[in-house]
Amino acid sequence: MTAPKISYATCPLCEATCGLEIETREREILSIRGDAQDVFSHGYICPKAYSLKELHADPDCIREPMVRRDDKWINVSWDDAFAEIERGLMPILDESGRNALAIYVGNPNAHNIASLLYLPALLQSAKTQNFYSASTVDQMPKQVSAGLMFGTVLSIPVPDLDRTEYLLLLGANPLVSNGSLMTAPDMRGRLRRLRQRGGKVVVIDPYRTRTAQEADEHYFIKPGHDAYFLFALVNTLFDEGLVAPGRLTEYTAGLEQVRWLAEPFTPERVATTSGIDASTIRIIARELAASPRAAVYGRIGTCTQEFGTLSSWLVDVLNVLTGNLDREGGAMFPKAAAGSRNTTGTPGHGRGVRFGRWKSRVRGLPEIYGELPASCLAEEIDTPGEGQVRALITLAGNPALSTPNSNRLQRALGTLQFMVSIDIYLNETTRYANVILPPPPVLARTHYDLALYQLAVHNVAHFSAPVFEREAGALDEWELFLRLAGILAGQGSQAHLSMLDDFVMTTLIQREVAQDGSNVEKREVGKLLELLAPRRGPERMLDFLLRSGPYGDAFGRHEGLSLATLEAHPHGIDLGPLQPRIPEVLRTPSGKIELAPQPIVEDVKRLLTSFEQGLTSSNGHMLLIGRRDLRSNNSWMHNLHVLTKGKERCSLHIHPGDAAHLELVNGNMAIVASRAGSVEIPVEITDAIMPGVVSIPHGWGHTLTMTKTRIASEMAGVNTNILSDEVEIDPLSGNAVLNGIPVTVEKAHQS
């Protein structure tokens, strides 16, 4: 029998990037442990990591390309699958134009280096304006506010968790999510150490989450009211003379405008609508100002609401006003080893960001960073007219469950003329596809967290080679992307992969070499390609990005990182604690932190109108919010027994007072209804939730036919996105409103 082998890899399942030690024999996983020598996670893992073993052997996983014929799926060769795609897709685009194709990219792509590096080539070949992703379902407000304030899409400050002494968290439950837009393995350990060194954690949330339970203080806030609360903190800082940006003053524009914008939002006025009393607001503002190392952090609850961008902006306004932005223990900018836009170009200023270069056809919503809001996808498919979407490519996404008004989207998907999915499951979305292309199993891929290290609370770099070799004949993910790109570029289904890869690589090099302040000598592209040989695919691109990056060896100009260095360090490389980066991190045209960007100033009027007209009342409805579970991240995880076993977790949480009023008892079925739809769900009474608010977790509802996710179907749950409303968005970012949805709740008739 073959001897067991130990491999080290980064967990690809969430944003925490924990190091794994995986013991295998041939193609079997024997055990998965935390890698005690990992420079970032130091042996920590959560229960989800163990599920990789079950995922690796899941009989429901798609291993070969599949083509649908009369509602039957048949396995085909790769060549036949791509030929089918060419035959199905190209006539539609020839007849109806490039915008007849939509592309939807799901959240797992953020963890996938092949997707991150080769998606641009696919989009360039597609030449469609109908590009959608999960970003407009959960995080676009933060990307918009960061872009407007600091100049690039991922210049998002993260709490310097290991040194902070005061942490104010809004709409975030990192003990369960393990951090989001904040890469930090072992959140529990980090928050405990924060408190052990005398620090304080304050949580603002309509739900007393696990994070709130372990915090020093927790305050309920009415869903969707974070912007009012944050503005009241700003108001207090100005009112009490506590504004002290310190060394940031000379790099900050718009301070006086912020003072003026905050004037109407006094703590007393905000208290009546937000649910947090005025004295508490003042105390929190004073504590923030007094702490020498404090950070404000807002996440999913602050993004997925009507005023998501304003809330995200105000989080960083507070970090600036209290002098905590860019100082140790405050909110700081990571310096990633590769792929970050705030480490390329001229340090200190840049072109900033631009939105609205095109608009969605039906609702006229502006493009944001090249994307249209996912909430528009259904109407772009089901509304007739020129430019109507008739074909779709989904990449590791399940929008039929995870985007608003999913009933409408499911109906729309059923009307498409052609659909292609890259996915490992036949799920609620891919069941509509004509062709499904399976990417390699997750542990048969190269891994480097190009995006997440841009958000890490400590600068690190960690490369993992595939734990398993790909099955003979299987394609790597970047090859799938390039073959699709070749078809869309009119080169047919047999495009020369090597030439396409060289083209993509050459384009990347030319763009980097052309940058002012490039870390790469103005050498000929051919010479650089020679230096990168014999690597191909994502490894070659990553090697280039590392060597031309801020810690890189600049192709031999000095000592520094290359992919070879990372390969020699299987537990990762520690690049040190976060360092102050202002002004060099800025890429705004002014070279300043834009504290009052015009689009945001304009949007404050909307907030003010809502505030003054009292539209923030729920008009007798309950307000629906989401909920995160430690063992669930994406909907596909519900097909793993190790993550779904035990008590049913898809239930309606409701406060005892509301339950009594509605005559609901534990285990009753309740009907929850919104403008978009209704669901029937078991009731779970808990005083962890704010009165007037109910909660349903997302990603469930595995009740549909024509899927093959057998374990998920056994513990199906209900789909909360039947209730979320595609009409409700945060207009600045186009982000879906998933929190604070007005709903009615009533007892279902017992059969």
Which residues contribute to the site for ligand SF4 (CB under 6 A)?
A: 11, 13-14, 16-18, 45-46, 48-49, 178, 185
Q: Which is nearer to ligand SF4, 188 or 349 (CB)?
A: 188
Q: Which is nearer to ligand SF4, 334 or 560 (CB)?
A: 334
CB atoms near residue 485 (< 10 Å): 23
Smallest distance, Å, CB 605 to ligand SF4? 40
Smallest distance, Å, CB 192 to ligand SF4? 16
3-state secondary structure of 330: coil
> Which pairing describes strands 693-695 and 735-736: parallel, antiparallel, or unpaired?
unpaired
Q: With beta carbons less than 8 A apart as the criterion, state whether 201 and 294 touch.
A: no
Q: Which is nearer to ligand SF4, 76 or 465 (CB)?
A: 465
Smallest distance, Å, CB 44 to ligand SF4? 7
φ/ψ of residue 219, rounded to 5: -125, 130
Smallest distance, Å, CB 16 to ligand SF4? 4
3-state secondary structure of 3: coil
State the Cα torsion 601-604-608-611 to the nearest 10°: -160
316 contacts: CB under 8 Å, gap ≥ 6: 145, 146, 149, 157, 296, 325, 331
Smallest distance, Å, CB 649 to ligand SF4? 17
Residue whose pair of structure tokens reads 């109507």 in the numeric block: 388
Q: Which is nearer to ligand SF4, 178 or 429 (CB)?
A: 178
60: Cα within 13 Å, side-chain hemisphere? 20
3-state secondary structure of 371: strand
> Which pairing describes strands 669-673 and 735-736: parallel, antiparallel, or unpaired?
unpaired
Smallest distance, Å, CB 347 to ligand SF4? 32
- Cα–Cα distance measured from residue 683 to residue 672, given in angstroms and rounded to the nearest whole number: 11
Smallest distance, Å, CB 313 to ligand SF4? 28
Smallest distance, Å, CB 179 to ligand SF4? 8
- Amino acid identity for residue 329 in this structure: G
Exposure string for 418-431, b = 16+ CB within 10 A, e = fewer: bbbbbbbbbbbbbb
Q: Which is nearer to ligand SF4, 48 or 592 (CB)?
A: 48
Smallest distance, Å, CB 71 to ligand SF4? 36
Q: Which is nearer to ligand SF4, 294 or 336 (CB)?
A: 336
Comparing CA positions, the residue from 574, 558, 578, 702 lying closest to residue 632 is: 702
Q: Which is nearer to ligand SF4, 442 or 509 (CB)?
A: 442
Smallest distance, Å, CB 178 to ligand SF4? 4
Q: Which helix (H) or strand (E) holds 54?
A: helix 47-57
Comparing CA positions, the residue from 707, 739, 706, 734 lying closest to residue 720 is: 739
Smallest distance, Å, CB 184 to ligand SF4? 9
Q: Which is nearer to ligand SF4, 84 or 186 (CB)?
A: 186
Q: Which is nearer to ligand SF4, 108 or 275 (CB)?
A: 108
Q: Which is nearer to ligand SF4, 55 or 325 (CB)?
A: 55
Q: Which is nearer to ligand SF4, 177 or 707 (CB)?
A: 177
Comparing CA positions, the residue from 456, 667, 485 lying closest to residue 115 is: 485
- Which two three-digit tokens encode residue 556? 């031999």
Smallest distance, Å, CB 37 to ligand SF4? 16
**Secondary structure of 601-667 as H, E, C letters:** HHHHHHHHHHHHHCCCCCCCCEEEECCCCCCCCCHHHHHCHHHHCCCCCCCEEECHHHHHHCCCCCC
What size, in residues, is the chain?
A: 751
Q: Which is nearer to ligand SF4, 149 or 175 (CB)?
A: 175
CA 572 to chain centre: 23
- Cα–Cα distance measured from residue 468 to residue 412, given in angstroms and rounded to the nearest whole number: 38
